[in-house]
Structure 1
Amino acid sequence: MKYDKVLLAHGSGGKLSHDLVREVFLPAFGNKALNRLDDRAEVSVPGTRLAFSTDSFVVNPIFFAGGDIGKLAVCGTVNDLAMGGAQPLYLSVGFIIEEGLEMDILKKIVASMQAAAREAGVDIVTGDTKVVEKGSADKLFINTAGIGIVEEGIHISGHNAKPGDKVIINGFIGDHGMAVMAERQGLSFQSRIASDCAPLNKLVAKMLEVTKDIRVLRDPTRGGVATTLNEIAGQSSVGIVLHEKELPIRDEVMAACEFLGFDPLYVANEGKLLAIVPAEKAEDILAVMQGEKYGENAAIIGEVVSDHPGKVVLKTAVGGRRIVDMLVGEQLPRIC
Structure 2
Amino acid sequence: MVVRGWLINGVIIYIASLVSSEVQELYHQENAAVPPSICSGDLSFTKGYRCVDYNVITEDGYILRLWRFHEGRTKESRKERKQPVFMQHGDGRCWFAVSHADQSLAIQLVEQGYDVWIPNTRGTTYSQQHVSSNITYSSEGYWDFTYSEMATYDLRAFLNFVYLETGQKVHYIGHSQGTTMMFAAFSEWKVEERVKSAVMLAPVVFLNHMPFGLTYALAKSYIGVRKPIFAQYDYGNPATNMEHYGVPEPPPYDLRKIPKDFPLFLIYGGQDLLSIREDVHILLNKLRSHRIVRELYIDNYAHFDFLQGITAKDVVFPDIVGFMQGID
- The normalised TM-score by structure 2 is 0.29
- The normalised TM-score by structure 1 is 0.29
Higher normalized contact order (CA 8 Å, seq sep 6+, divided by chain length): 1
